[in-house]
Structure formats: structure tokens, C-alpha cells
Amino acid sequence: MESKEFNFKGLTVNGFLMLFVVIAMPILAVWCIYKGIVLYDLSNQDWMATSLIILGVVLAIITLIFLGGFLMLEPNTARVTTWFGKYSGTFTKTGFYWINPFYGTKKVSLRARNLDAEPIKVNDKVGNPVMIGLVLVWRLKDTYKALFEVDSQTMASTDGTLSGNAKGLMRALEAFVSVQSYAALRQVAGQYAYDDNDEDTKELTLRSGGEEINEQLEGKLNERLSLAGIEVVEARINYLAYAPEIAAVMLRRQQASAIITAREKIVEGAVSMVKMALDKLSADDIVELDEDKKAAMVSNLLVVLCADESAQPVVNTGTLNQ
């Protein structure tokens, strides 16, 4: 969707210059009223006195009106302006300025914000309940969408009127981001299994997906939050675990899998060492072993190398033929 945001094009005056004018105007107003009263008392020039008094009153009223036109913006903040309800542009100039006081303005922040979402329970692709959370860095990119495409103003107000201040508006946007973030997280988590359950597959999983899963999550969030003019700077899963009701069972399964994998490595190494020992004895003519003796030696070495506990040695004081 094409952005409808544009920069403010109305009259803009340096704030310090206008401040001097606003300070001078009430002084001139007081002088005019004073001169009008003096002329009214000391002469018959009633029209001149009346004109000076009216001019002084008008200057005082104009001064009060002009006071509402000052704007002071810090870096990465903006003012959204409206002219009697019609969007008139976004004022983004940093510094102290004065604009027509009849423009309505709403201050918004363009600075980066973060959301550390609490882990929620979702079902993965195979139906296992998992706990998953994310951390999100976002910022406001399109002020028009933020104020006029979503109902952030009403959400920010406490009495149902469009009177929400800057903090209220940003809190409303934070609530919008939070809801949409949980929705995107559920959507992404439901597309993948927690892990591959030790199956020899190349299917992407939540546990092994890493950056690819985070990129998909960021894409889903950008799709959802672009409606409110929000840009996702970074999004990543920061918590992932099985739900408490199945965590103990899955832990035992993982432990069993780890034990089996370790046993496979131990047996593989033990067989290699036994073969190396037999080949070395044969190559160096240290001793000649028949098939029975080789089988006994292999059995003893495998017991020593594969046992969970240290084997107790048995000293043979006889000969190999005994």
C-alpha cells in the first residue's frame, strides 16, 4: 500500500524570532491601552482613544493565540498536523519553530522500541505443546498509518475521546504490536515441529531452524504491523522449550537418545582399538593366537573398553595354552 505520509508544507517560522514578536506584542498592547485611556481622559479625541484601546485588546488576544503555535522537536520525534480534521503533513524538523496555531498537532516518537514477549503455549506442527517467546525491536515509520489507519487515538484515551497524548498513543501502539506479535508467533510455531525426533530428515524445525525461522517470523510481523506504519528492525525467538506437562517425558527421550549415540561411538572406538591390537600383535610376531584365543582376547578387550565401570584385572600366571 502506498504511503500517504508527506512533510508539512505550511508556514514555518524560527521559534526564537517569533518568541521575540510574542514578547513584544503584549508590551505594545499595554502601551496602546494606556495611551488610549490617557487620551480619553485628557482630550476630546474619543475616536483615537477608543481605537488605541481596541488595538491593545486585539494585540493581547493575538498574543494568546500565537502562544499555541510554538513547536519544539527532539531528534527522532515528529508532529502530525491536521487542519480542522484534514491531514496536513508530518512536521519532522528538529529544533524550535512556530507554525499557524490553528493547526492541530499530535506528537509521536520515531525512536526504536523493544518488546520482550512472555513465553506462550502453542502447538507445533505435530501437535506437541511447546513454550515459545520472542524479543522484538520496532519503530514507527509511517505516522499517517499510525494515527489514521488504526484506532490508536481512541485506544490511547481513557474517556473514549480523541484526546490521547503522546505517551498514550505510543502505549496504544505498543499494545497493538504485542497482540500482533503473539499472533505471528503462533502462526510460525504452528508450521514447524519442535525437533525432528532423531529422524534422519532435512525438514526445518524450531530448534534447528535458527536464523531461517527468525527471518520468517520477522517477515510475518512486517506483514501484520505494516498496517499501523510500524517497521520491524529485528525479531528473534529467545525462548523455546517443551510445555511442562510433556517436558519430563521428552527429557527422558532425549537422555535415552544421547546414551544410545554415546554407546555407538564407544563401541565403534572399541572395535577399532581391538582390531589395531590384533593387527599389531600379528605384524610384530609377538605372539601367535588361534581363533579361540583371539575370540577370548576380543571379548576381554571389549569388556574393558565398553564397561561403565573400571574392569578388575585378572592375572594369568600360566601359559597361553592353559
Between 162 and 52, the higher pLDDT residue? 52
pLDDT of amino acid 34: 84
* pLDDT digit string, tens, across residues 211-257: 888 999 999 999 999 988 999 999 999 888 888 776 566 666 666 66
Tell me which residue has cell 502530525. 80
Length of the chain: 322
pLDDT of amino acid 162: 39
Q: Which of 109, 115, 114, 175 is nearest to 140 (CA)?
A: 109
* pLDDT digit string, tens, across residues 90-101: 999 999 999 999
Q: Provide the pLDDT confidence category of residue 25 given band limits of 50, 70 and 90.
A: very high
pLDDT of amino acid 62: 93
- Whether residue 87 contacts residue 144, with contact meaning beta carbons closer than 8 Å, is answered with yes
pLDDT greater than 60 at residue 303? yes
Stretch 21-28: mean pLDDT, rounded? 92
CA distances from 217 to 128, 136, 319 (A): 20, 10, 72
Q: How far is CA 77 from the centre of its chain?
A: 19
pLDDT of amino acid 262: 72
Stretch 271-287: mean pLDDT, rounded? 74
Stretch 191-220: mean pLDDT, rounded? 79
Write out the three cell numbers for 259: 546414551
pLDDT greater than 70 at residue 164? no
pLDDT greater than 50 at residue 56? yes
pLDDT of amino acid 48: 79
pLDDT of amino acid 160: 40
> Could you give the percent of the chain with pLDDT greater than 70?
76
Between 290 and 245, the higher pLDDT residue? 245
Q: What angle do CA 276, 298, 293 make, to 5 degrees?
A: 110
Q: In what order do the strands lie in the sheet with 12-14?
A: 12-14, 95-99, 70-73
Stretch 263-274: mean pLDDT, rounded? 76
pLDDT of amino acid 197: 58
Between 233 and 261, the higher pLDDT residue? 233
- Whether residue 194 contacts residue 130, with contact meaning beta carbons closer than 8 Å, is answered with yes
C-alpha 108/C-alpha 273 separation (Å) is 71
- State the chain's mean pLDDT as an integer: 81
Between 305 and 54, the higher pLDDT residue? 54
pLDDT of amino acid 157: 57
Write out the three cell numbers for 74: 527532539
Write out the three cell numbers for 124: 507445533
Q: What is the pTM of this model?
A: 0.69
